[in-house]
Amino acid sequence: MARPIIALFVGAQNAIEALVSLAAYRLSNLRPRGYYALFAFGGGALVAAAAVFRPSAMILLALYSGLMKLVAVVFEGRLQHAIGSGQRATISSVKGFMAQIGITALYVGFGPVAQAASYRIAFMACGCTGVAVGLGYLAAPRLGRPSVQ
């Protein structure tokens, strides 16, 4: 793929994330199960992009980015409302740190899979992980979970 096309894709991806961030408040009342479903759907978009693995799959990657940004923005907003102001900075900092640990683990796992198999398989594995996490939360019993509306 030509470098100018990659630059256009990255620009479009950032624009989609910005638009989703602006509109995320409309889904702030979605029940947690809805977010789990969106997370699983995002993983499915990544799996589909890996299955297609052609330049046209960039649309699915942009969809994935938008869905993940939507989930992240709404989750952050709900977290901010649920935390008292005295603990907000600490909890938000720990959440950000844990997110970076998760992303680092993803990168550490992606590289060896891509090297051993292919980028296509590595993307597919990441997408399958996203689907499994989303569906796992959807299927998990509700016992012990706080009731968040």
Report the Cα–Cα distance between both ends of the chain, in Å, rounded.
45
* Angle 12-17-21 from CA coordinates, rounded to 5°: 145
- pLDDT value for 136: 93
Measured distance CA(43)–CA(35) in Å, rounded: 12
- pLDDT value for 143: 47
pLDDT (tens digit per residue) in 71-126: 889 888 888 888 888 888 888 889 889 989 988 988 899 999 999 999 999 999 99
Among residues 132, 98, 126, 128, the alpha carbon closest in space to that of 112 is found at 126
Chain centroid, CA 75 distance in Å: 11
Question: Between these two residues, 3 and 118, which has the higher pLDDT value?
Answer: 118
52 sits in which H/E element: helix 32-52
pLDDT (tens digit per residue) in 27-77: 888 888 888 999 999 999 999 999 999 988 989 999 999 999 998 898 888
- pLDDT value for 124: 95
Please tell me the number of Cα atoms within 13 Å of 14 on its side-chain side: 5
Instruction: Give residues with Cβ within 8 angstroms of 2, minimum separation 6.
Output: none
- pLDDT value for 147: 54
